[in-house]
C-alpha cells in the first residue's frame, strides 16, 4: 500500500503537535508549505490553538490543515491516524512510553515513521522487535532524526565520504554554548530530562536488548584501536578545554549505522567515540554534579520522583517546564568537531581486505559543523527534511523498508547537501599526513 499511495493521502502528519518540539515541527511545515501536512494529538482544542499560534507566528494560511485526534492509549485511534498519512513525524515523548504504539501502527499500515528520540533503549528495542516486520510491510522507521543524533551520525558519514582513503576511527567533540549574561539559561524542555531519567533507570534492560540486537552482527576487533582517553581529558582540538565522554545516544547510533554499513555493503566499520566539551572548569563541575544526581537518584523510585519533581534544581537550572525561551534558543550554538585517522589511498593500493589492515594509519582529517538553536530549531528542520527525503528519494533508501538509524537510512540520499542548504554545513578544516 505504501508505494501506491493515492494523492489524497497526506504527505506528513505531525503527531504530538501540541508539545514543545511538535510545535517547532509544525512551524517548519508551515514555512516550507510545498507538501500536504496535518497535525495530530490527543486534545483537539490544544491542536486548534497550535494552528492559531502558527498563523500568528508565520502568517501562513493554515485553514486547510487537517486536525486528527489520536491517543497512544487508544491503539485504534493511532492506526486510524497513520492510515491517513505517508510519513508520521512522532514528537510525543518520552518515547519509551509513547513511541511503540506509533511504530507498530505505521508498520501495520505500511506507513513510514520518523522521530527525534535520544533514547537508545527505545531505538534498539524497535530495531530488534520490528525490523523484519517493517521489511515485510515496506515501512521505513527512522529514529534519532534530531540533534540526537544526526550531527554525529551524518558527521561520520560525511567524514567517510570525504576522507581520501580508508578511515580507521573518528572522535567527535561536541560543545554547546549559550551566549547570555545570566549564570544559567534553561535550554532543555522538561520532557527531555524525563526521558533521560527513565533511560538511566533502565540501563540493565538496554544491556539485554543490545546483547540480542548485536548478536545479529559479525563484530570484529578493529586495529589499530581508537585512542583510549581518560574520563576527563583536555583536547587540543578544542582549545585544550576539559572533555568528558558524552552519555547520550550519539555513539550508539553511529555504531549501529556502522554495523549496518558493514553487514549490508561490506564497508569497513569506523570506530567512534563522542565527547562533550566543557566551556570552563565551572561547567565541568556543574556537569559532574548533574551527572552524579542523575546516576544515583535515577536508580530508585523515590529518587526518580525527586529528580522529576525538582528538575529545575537537580539540573542546576538548565531544564524548564516551559521549555527554553526564544532568547536562549537564539543565543545557543552547538558545534561538533570530528578528528579522525586512517590510511591514504596510496597506502591502500596493495590491500585486498580492508578489515585486516594492521599497519599504522598515515593520514588525518578534521571536520566540523556549527548549528544554532540545535535542540529545537535544527531538530525540527532535520525531522521534516528526513521525512521529505523518505518521500522524495525512496529509491536511494536501503531496499524494502526496515528500522534504521539516520546514517543507515540516508547514506545514499542527499541529506548532507540538504542540511547544508538549510545552513548546517559540514566543513573540512584540515587534512594531512601524520
Ligand X SMILES: NC(=O)c1ccc[n+]([C@@H]2O[C@H](COP(=O)([O-])OP(=O)(O)OC[C@H]3O[C@@H](n4cnc5c(N)ncnc54)[C@H](OP(=O)(O)O)[C@@H]3O)[C@@H](O)[C@H]2O)c1
Q: What are the residues binding ligand X (CB under 6 A)?
A: 16, 18-22, 41-43, 46, 71-73, 91-95, 98, 116-118, 146-148, 189, 191-192, 195, 375-376, 379
Order of all β-strands in the sheet with 332-344: 233-235, 241-245, 271-277, 165-178, 332-344, 363-372, 427-433
- 321 vs 126: CA distance, rounded Å: 28
- 91 vs 116: CA distance, rounded Å: 7
Q: Torsion over CA of 187, 191, 195 and 196, rounded to 10 degrees?
A: 30
Least Cβ distance, residue 172 to ligand X (angstroms): 15
Cα 121 to Cα 118, 243, 378: the distances in Å are 9, 25, 23
Give the residue with the Cβ less far from ligand X, 242 or 334. 334
What phi and psi values does residue 380 have, to the nearest 5 degrees? -70, -40
Least Cβ distance, residue 106 to ligand X (angstroms): 15
CA angle in degrees (0–180, nearest 5) for 302-252-12:
90
What phi and psi values does residue 66 have, to the nearest 5 degrees? -75, 145
Least Cβ distance, residue 226 to ligand X (angstroms): 24
Give the residue with the Cβ less far from ligand X, 162 or 202. 202
Give the residue with the Cβ less far from ligand X, 192 or 298. 192
Give the residue with the Cβ less far from ligand X, 36 or 320. 320
Least Cβ distance, residue 177 to ligand X (angstroms): 17
Contact 103, 141 (CB under 8 A): yes
Give the residue with the Cβ less far from ligand X, 123 or 270. 123
Annotate 82-122 with DSSP letters as a single string: HHTEEEEEE--S-HHHHTHHHHHHHHHHT-EEEE----HHH
Task: Indicate the DSSP class of residue 295.
Answer: H
Least Cβ distance, residue 360 to ligand X (angstroms): 37
Give the residue with the Cβ less far from ligand X, 15 or 426. 15
Give the residue with the Cβ less far from ligand X, 57 or 433. 57
Give 205's contacts (C-beta < 8 A, 6+ positions apart).
Answer: 121
What phi and psi values does residue 281 have, to the nearest 5 degrees? -65, -35
Least Cβ distance, residue 30 to ligand X (angstroms): 17
Give 41's contacts (C-beta < 8 A, 6+ positions apart).
Answer: 15, 16, 17, 18, 19, 22, 47, 69, 70, 92
Give the residue with the Cβ less far from ligand X, 324 or 342. 324
Give the residue with the Cβ less far from ligand X, 147 or 365. 147
Give the residue with the Cβ less far from ligand X, 274 or 357. 274
Least Cβ distance, residue 82 to ligand X (angstroms): 13
Cα 237 to Cα 164, 261, 277, 306, 337: the distances in Å are 21, 28, 10, 38, 8
Closest CA relative to residue 415, chosen from 160, 145, 170? 145
Least Cβ distance, residue 212 to ligand X (angstroms): 24
Least Cβ distance, residue 21 to ligand X (angstroms): 3
Is the torsion defined by CA of 29, 31, 36, 39 positive or negative?
positive
Least Cβ distance, residue 280 to ligand X (angstroms): 24
Amino acid at each position: 500500500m505504501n508505494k501506491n499511495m493515492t494523492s489524497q493521502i497526506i504527505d506528513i502528519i505531525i503527531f504530538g503537535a501540541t508539545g514543545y518540539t511538535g510545535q517547532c515541527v509544525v512551524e517548519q511545515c508551515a514555512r516550507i508549505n510545498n507538501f500536504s501536512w496535518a497535525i495530530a494529538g490527543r486534545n483537539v482544542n490544544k491542536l486548534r490553538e497550535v494552528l492559531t499560534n502558527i498563523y500568528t507566528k508565520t502568517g501562513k494560511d493554515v485553514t486547510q490543515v487537517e486536525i486528527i485526534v489520536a491517543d497512544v492509549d487508544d491503539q485504534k485511534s493511532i492506526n486510524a491516524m497513520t492510515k491517513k498519512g505517508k510519513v508520521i513525524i512522532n514528537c510525543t515523548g518520552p518515547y519509551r512510553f509513547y513511541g511503540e504504539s506509533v511504530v507498530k501502527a505505521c508498520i501495520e499500515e505500511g506507513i513510514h515513521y520518523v522521530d527525534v528520540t535520544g533514547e537508545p533503549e527505545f531505538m534498539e528495542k524497535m530495531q530488534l522487535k520490528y525490523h523484519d516486520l517493517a521489511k515485510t510491510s515496506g515501512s521505513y522507521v527512522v529514529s534519532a532524526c534530531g540533534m540526537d543524533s544526526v550531527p554525529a551520525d551524518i558527521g561520520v558519514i560525511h567524514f567517510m565520504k570525504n576522507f581520501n582513503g580508508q578511515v580507521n576511527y573518528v572522535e567527535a567533540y561536541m560543545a554547546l554554548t549559550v551566549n547570555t549574561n545570566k549564570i544559567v539559561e534553561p535550554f532543555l524542555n522538561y520532557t527531555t530530562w524525563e526521558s533521560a531519567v527513565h533511560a538511566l533507570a533502565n540501563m540493565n534492560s538496554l544491556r539485554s536488548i543490545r546483547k540480542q540486537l548485536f548478536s545479529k552482527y559479525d563484530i570484529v576487533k578493529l586495529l589499530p584501536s581508537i585512542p583510549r582517553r581518560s574520563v576527563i581529558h583536555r583536547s587540543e582540538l578544542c582549545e585544550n578545554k576539559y572533555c568528558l565522554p558524552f552519555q547520550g545516544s550519539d555513539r550508539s547510533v553511529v555504531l549501529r549505522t556502522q554495523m549496518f554499513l558493514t553487514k549490508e555493503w561490506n564497508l569497513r566499520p569506523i570506530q567512534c567515540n563522542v565527547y562533550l566539551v566543557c566551556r570552563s572548569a565551572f561547567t565541568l563541575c556543574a556537569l559532574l554534579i548533574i551527572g552524579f544526581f542523575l546516576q544515583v537518584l535515577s536508580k530508585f523510585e523515590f529518587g526518580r520522583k525527586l529528580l522529576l519533581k525538582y528538575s529545575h534544581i537537580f539540573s542546576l537550572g538548565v531544564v524548564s517546564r516551559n521549555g527554553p525561551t526564544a532568547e536562549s534558543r537564539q543565543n545557543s550554538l552547538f558545534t561538533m568537531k570530528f578528528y579522525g585517522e586512517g590510511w591514504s589511498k596510496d597506502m591502500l593500493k596493495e590491500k585486498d581486505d580492508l578489515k585486516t589492515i594492521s599497519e599504522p594509519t598515515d593520514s588525518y582529517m578534521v571536520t566540523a559543523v556549527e548549528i544554532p538553536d540545535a535542540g529545537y530549531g535544527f531538530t525540527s528542520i532535520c525531522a521534516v527534511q528526513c521525512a521529505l527525503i523518505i518521500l522524495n528519494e525512496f529509491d536511494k533508501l536501503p531496499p524494502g523498508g526496515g528500522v534504521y538509524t539516520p546514517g543507515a537510512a540516508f547514506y545514499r540520499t542527499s541529506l548532507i547537501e540538504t542540511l547544508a542548504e538549510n545552513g548546517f554545513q559540514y566543513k573540512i578544516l584540515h587534512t594531512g599526513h601524520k
